[in-house]
Every structure is written in structure tokens, then in C-alpha cells.
Amino acid sequence: MMIAILLTLCLTWSVSAHPAAAQATAGGGLPRLKTEGSRLVTDPGGQEVVLRGANIMGSEWDGNMDWERVAFPMLAGAWHGDVVVHGFAADPVNANDPTYLSWLDEYVELAQANRVYVVFAFRSYAVNGRQPRMPGRRAQRALAVLAGRYRDRTNVIYGLQVEPHDVSWRTLRPRFEAMVDAIHAAAADEPIVLVPGIKWSRDVSPAIGAPVRRENVVYSAHAYAPAEDFERYFGRAHAAGLPVFVSEFGDAPDLGMSMSDVDDLLRYTGEARIGWAAWNFDAYGPPALLASRDGTPTLPYGAAVKAAMMATRPPPPPAQAIRRRR
């Protein structure tokens, strides 16, 4: 099965800027990204980028950055990952909590040092709190604060929510458009924004007929479903020309996804050139990619995901010049 995955994968690889986040990126940072049809491409340059990586939640659960300092170089080096998704809490951001913001600053620094893109996705209001049904104004404000704080960083992406639930797309779409506007207004450019689907982010298909009418949005799906549902939940949206990113998946039968479905997802996204971030780059989760924090992958799940990442080409070369939109 592992050989089959490797053979079939076809992978490409408010607020002023805070001093800790205001490093110049020209000549050393990852390229800024934009959408072009259903693809992510470098801006400038137009080189296609298909991101592969994992979710990391250590600081939210442990109350420190000890694991992240190990995990970022491990994911980028031994696993060849190039994106980290991190669900964050809005209230400490809005309260200007120095400890919490220092963690997010270090996320950005670790990502920069290891040539990784980082996604800050609103998860809850309190640290490791419950996920709300949909994002409110406090979530919007926190995302705008972060967009201003990291406005000169080319490797930061924003997610409107991890998992909306028990709410219709008709209700969510205007809320999402307002949130994208707030992020883009606070940032130096128009950074990529991940827009989640309905049903705990499983289903992005409503966006086919009613897309979020903003630039540089990518639809974020959680693929906790049998393989036969991939097409209707997110595959048709991608085929219709919408950019799609699978921001969570894993060997989680209780959530509807078996290891066989994971293998199918890795093949499916490889053939369709859809990016993804597996859950969870740690020794606990569940589902966990690691058997221990020494980097040993779980079997078979972690090993399959690692093999898929290892098949990915290196990230694009450093940005030499950053084009600003007027």
C-alpha cells in the first residue's frame, strides 16, 4: 500500500506591525501566495505550490512552546512538511496577553526559520475552550489583530474557524466575507484566508453555487469521512475551479475515517494536487502521527503520512522581492 501511495502521488510540492513580527522578508522569506483558479501560486512568479504538513497544538495544551521548538524542525526536516496549522484562542489575542502573543510570535519565527507556512485558524475564545457554532465579532477582531501584527510576513495564512457546526452556509457566507475584509484591511497585502465548510468543516460544496466573493480565499475541508464522500464534500468544489485545502484528516474510525480512507485521501489529493495538513503532529491527539515525541511515526497512519510528505518537492525558493498592491 505504501509503494502504491508513493507511485500514485503526483505532488508539487487595530494594528501596526509588532516589532517582533516586522522582519523584512526580501531575500530570505518564503514567497507570498495567491490563488489562481483552483491553485495556490507564488506572488510574484506564478509557481504552483501544493502544501503538505500537519496540525500542531502543543502550546494550547501544554501551556508552553517546548514541543513546538522540537516539532517545527522535525516536521520540516525529517518529514519534509511545509505547512503547520494551529488553532488559536481569540480572547487572549484581543486582551493583548503578552505570554499568549509571545507563543504566536514564536510560531511565526519557527516557521520562518524552518521555511514553513503557518496557518492561524480561530478555534475557540478561551485557550483550549469549546468551539463555537460559528465565529463572532471577537474572532474577527482577533484575526485582524494577528493580520496587522504579522502584516510583513509572507508565510502567515489565516483561517476563519476550525470547525463551524449546526449552522447553514447561507448564514456563514456574509460573516465570512466580513472577516476576510477585516483581515485584508489589516494586512500589508491580501494574505491567503482559509474558509471552512459546514458540518464541522467537512462539506465545502455549498461554495460551488455561492462562493465567498473575495480574493485569495481557499476552502478548508476536514476529511473525516469515508472515501466515497470525498468527491461530494470537497472534490466537486475543486473540480469547479475553487481552491481547496484539506486542513484536517486522520485515522479516526469514530469520526468516520478509517486507515483505508486515509490511504485513499493521500492518493486522491495527490492526483488532484490538493494540499493538506494531517492531524496531529504529536504523540497524542488522537489520531496521533507520532508514537513518541522522538519523531517515531505511528503505524500505519503516521508512516503513511510521512511517506506522502517525503514525496513532496521542496518549497519554492526564497522571495527576492515582495510586490505590494496599492
Nearest to 149 by CA among 324, 14, 322, 21: 21
Nearest to 280 by CA among 249, 245, 256: 249
CATH number of 142's domain: 3.20.20.80
CA distances from 159 to 138, 144, 175, 247 (A): 14, 11, 13, 10
Is residue 320 in some structural domain? no
d(CA 205, CA 226): 16
310 phi, psi to nearest 5 deg: -65, -25
Residues of the chain with pLDDT under 50: 1-27, 319-326
DSSP reduced 3-state for 208: helix
d(CA 175, CA 169): 10
Q: How confident is the model at residue 322, as a pLDDT?
A: 33
Is residue 325 in some structural domain? no
Is residue 326 in some structural domain? no
* Residue 256 · residue 286 · CB < 8 Å: no
Angle at 173 between CA 167 and CA 176, to 5 degrees: 105
Is residue 321 in some structural domain? no
Number of folded domains that form the chain: 1
Place of cell 501544493: 50
* pLDDT tens digits for range 265-290: 999 999 999 999 999 999 988 999 99
Q: How confident is the model at residue 29, as a pLDDT?
A: 83
Is residue 167 in some structural domain? yes
d(CA 78, CA 69): 14
Is residue 253 in some structural domain? yes
Structural domain including 15 reads 2-310
DSSP reduced 3-state for 294: coil
Is residue 315 in some structural domain? no
Is residue 134 in some structural domain? yes
Q: Retrieve residue 64's grid coordinates.
A: 508552553
